[in-house]
Amino acid sequence: MNFLETKILSDGIIKQGDILKIDNFLNHQIDIRIIRQIAQELKQRFHDVAVDKILTIEASGIAIATMLDHLYDVPVVFAKKSETANSTDNKFVSQAYSFTHKQLNSVFVSKPYLNPSERVLIVDDFLADGQAVHALIDIVHQAGGEVVGIGIAVEKGQQKGGRLLREEGYRLESIAIIEEMDWEKQTIRFRE
């Protein structure tokens, strides 16, 4: 078991409805030792990939992206979310349904911050249905850039996001992949 799986088992809380709360080290309180390890692990897994820019989405993704960037020294861009955003205002805009907030969000990046031919590494804290990551991919493609990899801390392997991205041919690296969670027994099984 790797450091993140160990941490999830010790600190994660399973809630009814297939929800994993890791608020105490990643999504609300941040344990910098874990963030450092996540960043080092992602850098290592993408060691053979040239990266011009790191793209994430507010808010929790920013901590991972910042620490990863401390190792890469390229610009980070964090996409913003709002209930409404139009593309007339010099933005690349895509849509993502948030299961957490039960609403469709616009996700956007101001045009100056993504450029044609840039090799973009997308990072985020969670991957479930893949709505946010697909919106980020769409935005990179609108800008004419290339998605060279997707680095995720925790993938909920029971949901379809990871499978779809792999089928689409993206290089996806998730540090912990949850295969099964049992709310009543409070047990988690990770993918080998």
By CB under 8 A, is residue 31 in contact with its own copies? yes
- Kindly write out the interface string for residues 33-72 of this chain, putting x where it contacts its own copies by CB under 8 A and - elsewhere: x-xx---------------------xxx-xx-xxx-xx-x
By CB under 8 A, is residue 8 in contact with its own copies? no
- Kindly write out the interface string for residues 147-186 of this chain, putting x where it contacts its own copies by CB under 8 A and - elsewhere: ----------------------------------------
Nearest to 122 by CA among 35, 55, 39: 55
Looking at the DSSP bridge assignments, the partners of residue 55 are 77, 122
Residue type, 101: H
How many C-alpha atoms does 141 have within 13 Å on its Cβ side? Answer: 7
**Token pair listed for 106:** 């616009």
By CB under 8 A, is residue 110 in contact with its own copies? yes
Q: Which is nearer to its own copies, 112 or 169 (CB)?
A: 112
> In sequence order, what are the residues at sequence separation of 6 or more whose Cβ sits closer than 8 angstroms to the Cβ of residue 6?
none
Q: Output the smallest distance, CB 33 to its own copies, in A.
A: 8
Helix (H, G, I), strand (E, B) or coil at 118: coil
By CB under 8 A, is residue 116 in contact with its own copies? no
Tokens 């297939």 found at:
18
Dist CA 104 CA 107 (whole Å): 10
User: Which residues of this chain interact with its own copies, rule CB under 8 A?
Assistant: 23-24, 28-33, 35-36, 58-60, 62-63, 65-67, 69-70, 72-78, 80, 109-110, 112-113
